Amino acid sequence: MEEISLNNLPKHIAVIMDGNGRWAKSRGALRIFGHQNGIKAVRETVEACAELGVGYLTLYTFSTENWGRPKMEVDGIMDLLVKTIGDEVPRLHKNNVQLKCIGDMDALPEKARRNMEKGIDTTKNNTGLVLNIALSYSGKWDIIQATRKLASAVKSGEMTPEEIDEEQFSRLLSTYPAPEVDLLIRTGGDHRISNYLLWQSAYAELLFLDVLWPDFRKSHLLDAVRAFQTRDRRFGKTHD
Ligand code: FPP
């Protein structure tokens, strides 16, 4: 922690929590066992970000494409979500964390949606870390839902096509008012973005780790932030 410069923190960290299935398989267990064991990693990541003073943490918890997994796994993840949100909200609230959800909430089972809405309402006035849980989310979904809103605004005459710019578009993305992602971490060894925060990661620093998500600990997050602080971010410009 002492090696981290607090005036160069990533404002927004996004995580693709991959590797739960392989973690379970290597123990001869069902995939859901891996998801259950991913909760400790979520807790440690949230705690580390809150302690450091990171503004926004966005966790890829369930993608639009994940609906295509076997029903048993999907139901297991949804039940786990209901239980975890119920168990964790008091602690999040105590730590001044504001819980939010990005994604197509309407696609969630009623119980998961209601639980999430309750957690969002309980923590809505908190001023610390903003924790975005991406559920039934994909980057393309987000871009399309924003585009639909823009198209409606143009159709109704509220704005002209010429008024559409990056600023206007960003305001309609589900992550608003979070700034763009500074650091995107993917565990599990694969090197891809998997339809995550496509617009928001335009200039994110990417970090791909071999560690499987259930093994991810606070020390990995701190190492990731240290690695981020060694990167030379030019945003397409030069330093001279
Ligand atoms: C990817 O691993 C993981 C998921 C699709 C689910 C992640 C969900 C959790 C860790 C629960 C989190 C809960 C909250 C409240 C944030 P995978 O199944 O694709 O693993 P594999 O690549 O090894 O098959």
- 176-211: per-residue pLDDT in tens? 999 999 999 999 999 999 999 999 999 999 999 999
Whether this prediction's pTM lies above 0.75 is answered by yes
Count helices and strands in the chain by DSSP H and E runs = 7, 6
- 74-95: per-residue pLDDT in tens? 999 999 999 999 999 999 999 9
Among residues 8, 66, 126, 165, the one annotated as catalytic is: 66
- 100-116: per-residue pLDDT in tens? 999 999 999 999 999 99
Taking residues 111-129, report their average pLDDT: 97
Q: Which of 211, 212, 166 is nearest to 31 (CA)?
A: 212
18 is a catalytic site residue: yes
Ligand 1 atom 9: the closest Cα is on which residue?
Answer: 35
Ligand 1 pocket member 38 (CB < 6 A): yes
88, 94, 96, 97: CA torsion to nearest 10: 0
* Most informative mutation of 31, 58, 61, 87 for ligand 1 (most atoms within 8 A of CB): 61
Q: How confident is the model at residue 27 (pLDDT cuts 50, 70, 90)?
A: very high
Domains, in order of start, for the chain:
12-228 (3.40.1180.10)
- Rounded Cα distance between 96 and 212, Å, is 29
pLDDT exceeds cutoff 80 at 233? yes
Ligand 1 pocket member 187 (CB < 6 A): no
pLDDT exceeds cutoff 90 at 239? no
